[in-house]
Amino acid sequence: MASTGSCACWAAAAWGRYTSQSTFSWDDSELSQDATSLRRFRREALTAIELRHPNVVEVVDLDQAEDGTPYIAMEIVEGPDLRHALAGGAFSVDRALAIFRGVALGLGAAHAVGIIHRDVKPENILLGQRSGKPETPKLLDFGIAAMKEGATAISRTGGLMLTPEYAAPEQWKGVAPEELDGRVDVYALGGVLHEMLTGPSSFHSHNTEGWMYQHLMAEPEVPSRKRSELANWAGLDALVLMLLAKDREQRPKDVAEVLRLAEEVKVGRRDPCRTIVQVYEPTPLDEVPRPTFLQVPRVWGITSTLRAHAEAVQSLAFSPDGRILA
């Protein structure tokens, strides 16, 4: 058993369809007796039970104990959470984008059935590990996200219930839960991506007031300014900054758009080993001013030339009919 604030967790074996499960319950007696919170908890947890997606921790059951304490049972995922994985520093871009994509897919499935997570952060992302298979990011806490609005496990500031490092501006402004939409999760996911790429979180503060100011007023640092090699990935900086836009109307409208933009970043990667050169029509060697031209290696008896580029020169191979092969 583990306990954090008003929430306790048990791990137990189970027979039948589910090989193992964990159970969360709330110790906060006031919260347990709050009819509105309990109704919201039950409504979202029932929906979460129907949510089946490889990137979402599966909800097995929910109920109330004899003393009225609500609990929710979920599958056990073998592997660390993202917070522990980040203790080793920033990830490679490929790994960061793979985790980002998995979490986004899980969010998309939830949003499609009307569930907004509202607390996306590294602690709620588990990295499932199975022998011989790639790690699988799984989003935790669906079905209890609404319950957490009344729990003391999350920071309370002027009646606001949120996780300061990742809360969207509209959450800091006190927008009612029913008025929030999936772009709250998109914003938090942007913060998580920024952290996976650079190491530290996108904003920094030592108190709640500072966090509020950062999310409402300050612009996040461009990732490639913290880690220069990120500039080799076309569109990566722009993606992160779009996800972290203050105005939710400036963020991607849904997860489908998020995934499309992320795929464009992946496809548009710039390989730092490649260089761009300007190619000219083949010129007789006796007409080439040798100080400004370089001879390309002979391929199939064909010889051509390249004008020296200001940055770099790359050899080209030609087929007998004059087509560029490489």
Q: Are 141 and 117 in contact (CB under 8 A)?
A: yes
| Rounded alpha-carbon distances, angstroms, from residue 65 to 26, 188, 256 | 10, 33, 39
Assign domain 77-267 to its CATH architecture: Orthogonal Bundle (1.10)
Task: Tally DSSP H helices, then E strands, for the chain.
Answer: 10, 11
Highest mean pLDDT among 12-16, 154-158, 234-238: 234-238
Cβ contacts of residue 292 below 8 Å, gap of 6+? Answer: 307, 308
pLDDT for 49: 75
Q: Are 32 and 69 in contact (CB under 8 A)?
A: yes
Q: Are 140 and 162 in contact (CB under 8 A)?
A: no
Considering 34, 67, 119, 141, which one is annotated as catalytic?
A: 119
pLDDT for 292: 44
| E strand map for the chain | 2-4, 7-13, 20-26, 59-64, 70-74, 125-128, 136-139, 155-157, 160-162, 293-295, 305-307
Active site residue 286: no
Query: Tokens at residue 95, please?
Result: 């790994």
Cβ contacts of residue 64 below 8 Å, gap of 6+? Answer: 38, 70, 71
Higher pLDDT, 169 or 292: 169
Of 54-68, 156-170, 190-204, 281-295, the one with minimum mean pLDDT is 281-295
Instruction: Spell 156-179 as b/e; 16+ CB within 10 A means b.
Output: ebeebbbbbbbbbbbbbeebeeee
Residue 60 to residue 107: CA distance in whole angstroms: 18
First to last CA, the chain: 61
75-97: average pLDDT = 94
pLDDT for 19: 35
What does the DSSP 8-state code read for residue 3? E
Q: Are 145 and 117 in contact (CB under 8 A)?
A: yes
pLDDT for 178: 83
| Rounded alpha-carbon distances, angstroms, from residue 247 to 107, 118, 184, 195, 258 | 20, 17, 11, 21, 16
Q: Domain extents for the chain?
A: 77-267, 275-326
Residue 99 to residue 79: CA distance in whole angstroms: 14
Q: Has residue 26 got a pLDDT over 50?
A: no
pLDDT for 266: 77
Location of structure tokens 């795929």: 263
Residues 230-269: tens digit of each pLDDT: 999 999 999 999 999 999 999 999 999 999 999 999 777 6
283 conformational bin, left if phi > 0, alpha if psi -120 to 50, beta if neither? beta
pLDDT for 33: 57
User: What share of the chain has pLDDT > 90, as a percent?
Assistant: 43
Residues 145-154: tens digit of each pLDDT: 544 444 433 4
pTM over 0.85: no
> Among residues 103, 109, 28, which one has the least CA distance to residue 69?
28
Q: Are 171 and 180 in contact (CB under 8 A)?
A: yes
194-220: average pLDDT = 91
Q: Are 129 and 78 in contact (CB under 8 A)?
A: yes
pLDDT for 286: 55
Location of structure tokens 């583990």: 2
Highest mean pLDDT among 47-51, 67-71, 81-85, 288-292: 81-85
